[in-house]
Structure 1
Amino acid sequence: MTTLNIAIAGAGGRMGRMLVEAVLASDDLRLSGALGVPDSAGLGQDAATFLGKASGAIVTSDLAAGLEGADVLIDFTRPEGTLQHLEYCAAHGIKVVIGTTGFDDAGKAAIRAAAEKTAVVFAPNMSVGVNVTMKLLEMAAQNLATGYDIEIIEAHHRHKVDAPSGTALKMGEVIADALGRDLKECAVYGREGVTGERDPSTIGFATVRGGDIIGDHTVLFAGTGERIEISHKSSSRAGYAQGSLRAARFLADKPAGLFDMYAVLGLNT
């Protein structure tokens, strides 16, 4: 069995620690490096200190040191940091799994450009369950194209900095594509005051932020006399971590290219 060397960005954060633990628990992956921001509390410490273990990977803000020997970088940080890491990885042949959300159009273009030089999995949600849910939403939208109003409700912890979530936006894109619409033209991100009747061609978004909610997403198809709700609720970040490891394994034999979790899971057909 070939061992894949994994580096983790944001190793001291909530998601980073979950990834560290998942890599250490795997049989075919090795934690080769760990990145943190210069003022990170864990800088200079072993990435597995919080587990009471020694992984041999020291958290560093130096890209060259943190990515030395890495086959794949898994990055759940912030757009500006991810793009900096991605530029280095593309120049040094390191593959990248990007779970970071909140990219603008320029950031997404930079990811596409980097994918011409190295292999990248870029998805707003790495959970296997969420991506299967996306497939269900595509099927539902195709069969509920008329007579149903579509609303997307998402809830996350108080620390999340972008809204709506990347997952909610991706759900909107999947539904809009299935309906032959452009999400940029039909999305409604907030309602207040006298809004008038609901335009049936729109896709609405509602955002909740509070407490320690890991991530809840519900898509409501509201028709006359019935409503269909398709939901995914996360009780742990473990699902995101395991999906990320599947994405890393998927990239092992890919020299370059931009992939999503549908590709990783074989859902594109």
Structure 2
Amino acid sequence: MPETPAGDGPTIGIVGLGRLGSALRAVCRDNGTRVALTATRRRGWAAEAVPDVLVDTSAPEAHPQVLDYCAAHRVPLVACVSNLTDTQWKALEELAGAVPVVRATNLSFAHHLQVRIAEFTAALTTGPFGATTTVRERHPLGKAHRPSATALALADTWAGASGRAVADIADERAGLPVSEHELTHTWDGESLHVRHHVGSWTVPARGALAAAQWARTAPPGLVTMRTVYDELTARNTA
């Protein structure tokens, strides 16, 4: 059922109470953020009120309901489901014409830094300093798809910043939650590894709440977590 702890922040709706959704609900409970709506496949949708922002942590099957709800109630969306079809991504873009939509492939702030480091490295590794670059990702057994959306996005980031495709994307299914993503740059006799490890679902849950707080006052449009973190860090350094 929805929960209503004390607090002055935005009210949140959570679709999907798996590992990420449950962690987000716990983070909301800890910091006093009101959860006004929850939705699961077994129990359906339960709402005390229309939330200020909806966070979708469910599965592609729930996507039509999520988009219909946000469109009908003009609710901003933080979309954390990464394995959508091309048609579903297109529908997300259409929704963004009416409400703010955050496409949250990876919610971690440290991953945001990893992406920025990749762009910085790309600008310096040109000409005789060019490197062979690879991506490696690891998730526990049971991860729904491979390579992960984050690994593919890292490869795209590197290609866009350097003009060179990565030489390989390696995916591994083993070990403990939650994930590892690593960029390796190799030269003759040396290599540089930029690895990001997440060991708790609380980490992406905090990122989802930060995205929800940002989306609450954002204009309509489709953005990624890069825009969210760029703007939040700019506010803190202004």
TM-score class, shorter-chain normalisation, is 0.7 to 0.9
Correspondences of 1:88-167 after superposition (within 5 Å) = 88-146=69-127, 147-167=130-150
2:161 is aligned, of 174, 178, 200, to 178
Is 1:67–1:73's contact at 8 Å kept on the other side of the alignment?
A: no
| Offset at residue 25 of structure 1 (A) | 1.1
Is 1:91–1:117's contact at 8 Å kept on the other side of the alignment?
A: no
Distance in 1, Cα, partners of 2:64 & 2:191: 41
Does 2:29 match 1:79?
A: no
Q: What residue in structure 2 maps to residue 189 of structure 1?
A: none
| Offset at residue 97 of structure 1 (A) | 0.7
- Aligned residue identity for 1:169: L
TM-score by length of 1: 0.78
TM-score by length of 2: 0.87
CA distance 1:67–1:93, change in 2 (3 Å): farther
Distance in 2, Cα, partners of 1:70 & 1:81: 18
Unpaired segments ≥5 residues, structure 1: 44-60, 187-201
- Aligned residue identity for 1:33: L
2:204 is aligned, of 240, 255, 269, to 240
RMSD between aligned residues: 2.0
Unpaired segments ≥5 residues, structure 2: 1-6
Helix, strand or coil: the match of 1:266?
A: helix
- Aligned residue identity for 2:199: S
Q: Which has the higher contact order (CA 8 A, sep 6+)?
A: 2
| Offset at residue 211 of structure 1 (A) | 4.2
Q: What residue in structure 1 maps to residue 27 of structure 2?
A: 22
The runs of at least 4 consecutive aligned structure 1 residues that moved more than 4 Å come to none
Q: What residue in structure 1 maps to residue 39 of structure 2?
A: 35
CA distance 1:155–1:67, change in 2 (3 Å): farther
